[in-house]
Amino acid sequence: MSVWALTGIPEIQPGDDLVEVILAALERDPDEPLEDGDILVITSKILSKAEGRIVEAEDREEAIRKETVRVVATRPREGGGATMIVENRLGIIGAAAGVDASNTAEGTVLLLPVDPDGSARQIAERMRAALGVEIGIIVSDTLGRPWREGQTDVAIGAAGVHVFEDYAGKTDAAGRPLAVTMPCLADELAGATDLVKRKSTGNPVAVVRGLGHIVGGLDLPGAAAILRPAERDFFRLGTDLAFEQGFDAGVASVRGAGGSSAGGSGTGDSGSGGSDATTPGAQNAEDETS
Amino acid sequence: MSVWALTGIPEIQPGDDLVEVILAALERDPDEPLEDGDILVITSKILSKAEGRIVEAEDREEAIRKETVRVVATRPREGGGATMIVENRLGIIGAAAGVDASNTAEGTVLLLPVDPDGSARQIAERMRAALGVEIGIIVSDTLGRPWREGQTDVAIGAAGVHVFEDYAGKTDAAGRPLAVTMPCLADELAGATDLVKRKSTGNPVAVVRGLGHIVGGLDLPGAAAILRPAERDFFRLGTDLAFEQGFDAGVASVRGAGGSSAGGSGTGDSGSGGSDATTPGAQNAEDETS
């Protein structure tokens, strides 16, 4: 597999046609032209800029609120303000709803693209037609993770690429089913290109060659397929917020039920935590405390 | 950047010397010999096998318990049993404490290596001496993530590689500080090599060439530096478990304090959640519910 950053992508302005910009850069690029099976990973930032998703920096907090559909966790930040982990409009869970204050024009912040999967599909469609080669498109963004310091680039948009290598039905070398193993190729692709993009700044597009076996039709699921529904997630709510909601439910259970068993009331009060995303785990209590 | 899997690594047996095995494979490998700045990413599985970290499959649950230092979240699994997210001996948070039941000999499961960072350092030291080139070593494992389906390979051991590109003190193109941006290069490297390793199974070692700028001394921090301390993490405890602990604390606050204000009691009872990892966020309540 070879991975290289596409050079000569100019500063993107609102209204720019990214496909034309990338095609022009490809013509000027010293590397060979794109081939069947190549995958282009595009930093979401330039897609946002082309879409004119720029707002005044003073409106950053308001912009974050507008992009937020659900607060997952928050904690006061050293030096004031609060770090907010939220689920944004696209269903992506991350800090500040993806509102980006770095590498934007002074006094402005950048919102995530309107529809990264849709844009990826359009870009793939037009570039496949223009170049006559079957390429895949990934739109990448930088996300932090629980439990691990630092950030990695992941896929927030995809088209013409298998975002997962689905092992369902397959077996390991010893014949055991590998159903639970489902590597997220799209996220690994985004991270891989981040390594070359940051070698020289200002290279928001990178090419991955040698993985033609994971490139396919434009009807393949996009990056939205990577997003796990909150109700299926063990960490749909931050620890502090979940504890607070549990605390309130516990107090209510005693007061409301005149001191009846916490466990029973806990089950009954499951919905009273105040967040639709919270389905407190009374039925999981035994497992959790074992 | 070019990434390729090293071919001809035989099935590893307990007691095998991984360095000798890899050096032999390198000699047989059609690709050029290693150069200064190359990074070798080794799947933790073969390190575990070489260390003889194999236990009988019937003892899997017991092995998981032994490897576990803290239960982070758990939920009943469809078809019986429970999915456990735990912090293991190494401080890594993941499913089943990294105890692996796939691609092992029938009737056996594999534990994580004893000391991935230490092993990475030893391997890097010996290979640098044997080949006379400054290479980096990453030990990779496959981890799931909250909020996103599927798994990616990440670094659980590292030597001679900058695990982070630390932007602290640096500024973006507009001169604003990028202190919060700290890309985890080691995890992105592990994920990148997973893409080539799985093209042909049985290739547990891959080479990354072209990132010599992130290869350095063997005194660089290892992958342990990637692990975020629980007390600094927003998701140190699963939602259900945190809610349960909050519920119990809420009940206790009313009974104990004879029904005094939940908020006040909540603050006072912060420690009563029952888990050292829980420092319930009474002081964060306003932010969290805003």
Please report, in tens digits, the pLDDT of each residue of chain A (290 residues total).
999 999 889 999 999 999 999 999 999 876 679 999 999 999 999 999 999 999 998 888 889 999 999 999 988 877 777 888 999 999 999 998 999 877 778 889 999 999 999 999 999 999 999 999 999 999 999 999 999 999 999 999 999 999 998 766 666 666 665 556 789 999 999 999 999 998 666 799 999 999 999 999 999 999 999 999 888 899 999 999 999 999 999 999 998 865 444 333 333 333 333 333 334 433 332 222 22
| A204/A61 same-domain check | yes
Is the Cα dihedral B86, B87, B89, B92 positive or negative?
A: positive
Neighbouring C-alpha atoms within 13 Å toward the C-beta of A27:
8
Q: List B42's β-bridge partners, or say none.
A: B139, B205
Closest chain A residue to the Cα of B106, Cα to Cα = A174
- A-facing residues of B in 131-160 (CB < 8 A) are 142, 145-154
Task: For residues B177 and A209, give the distance between their C-alpha atoms in angstroms, rounded to a whole number.
Answer: 34
User: What CATH number should be reported for the domain holding residue A37?
Assistant: 3.30.1330.100
| B115/B198 same-domain check | yes
| A186/A243 same-domain check | no
> How confident is the model at residue B269, as a pLDDT?
33
B35 touches chain A (CB under 8 A): no
The better pLDDT of the pair B261, B214 is held by: B214
| A121/A248 same-domain check | no
Instruction: Give the β-pairing of B39-43 and B136-145.
Output: parallel
From the centroid of its chain, how far is CA A189?
13
Tokens matching residue B205? 């070692």
> How confident is the model at residue B167, as a pLDDT?
64
Mean pLDDT throughout B69-81? 85
Range of the structural domain that residue A251 is part of: 239-271
- Pairs of CB atoms within 8 A across A/B: 351
- B-facing residues of A in 263-282 (CB < 8 A) are 266, 273-274, 278, 280-282
Mean pLDDT throughout B161-185? 75
Indicate which of A234, A255, A290 best probes the interface with B, i.e. most B CBs within 10 Å of its own CB.
A234
| B120/B29 same-domain check | yes
Percent of chain B with pLDDT over 90: 65
State the pLDDT confidence band at B232, using cuts at 50, 70 and 90: confident
| A41/A24 same-domain check | yes
Closest chain B residue to the Cα of A172, Cα to Cα = B103
| B204/B247 same-domain check | no
Task: For residues A256 and A254, give the distance between their C-alpha atoms in angstroms, rounded to a whole number.
Answer: 6
Q: List A85's β-bridge partners, or say none.
A: A73, A95
Instruction: Give the β-pairing of A136-145 and A39-43.
Output: parallel
Mean pLDDT throughout B43-52? 96
> How confident is the model at residue B230, as a pLDDT?
86
- The residue whose two tokens read 């935590």 is A273
B80 touches chain A (CB under 8 A): no
What burial class does residue B30 get, using C-beta atoms within 10 Å of its C-beta: 0-12 exposed, 13-18 middle, 19+ buried? exposed
| B263/B144 same-domain check | no
| B153/B262 same-domain check | no
Averaged pLDDT score across all residues of chain B: 84
- CB under 8 Å, gap of 24 or more: what pairs does A260-266 form? A262/B247, A262/B248, A262/B251, A266/B244, A266/B247
Close Cβ partners of B72 (under 8 Å, ≥ 6 residues apart)? B85, B86, B87, B93, B236, B237, B238, B241, B277
Q: Is B17 helix (H, G, I), strand (E, B) or coil?
A: coil
* Nearest CA among A64, A71, A140, A142 for reference residue A109: A64
Task: For residues B240 and A187, give the distance between their C-alpha atoms in angstroms, rounded to a whole number.
Answer: 28
Q: How many domains does chain A have?
A: 2
Q: In this complex, do A251 and B250 lie within 8 Å of one another by their Cβ atoms?
A: yes
> How confident is the model at residue B262, as a pLDDT?
38
CB contact at 8 A, B135 and B75: no
- Helix, strand, coil distribution of chain B in percent, nearest 5: 35, 25, 40
Closest chain B residue to the Cα of A11, Cα to Cα = B173
> How confident is the model at residue B247, as a pLDDT?
96
| B259/B161 same-domain check | no
Percent of chain B with pLDDT over 70: 82
B41 touches chain A (CB under 8 A): no
| A64/A185 same-domain check | yes
Residues of A in contact with B241 (CB under 8 A): 281, 284, 288-289
Residues of B in contact with A225 (CB under 8 A): 149
Indicate which of A109, A151, A226, A235 best probes the interface with B, i.e. most B CBs within 10 Å of its own CB.
A235
A167 touches chain B (CB under 8 A): no
| B78/B109 same-domain check | yes
* B17-21, B42-46, B277-281: least confident range: B277-281
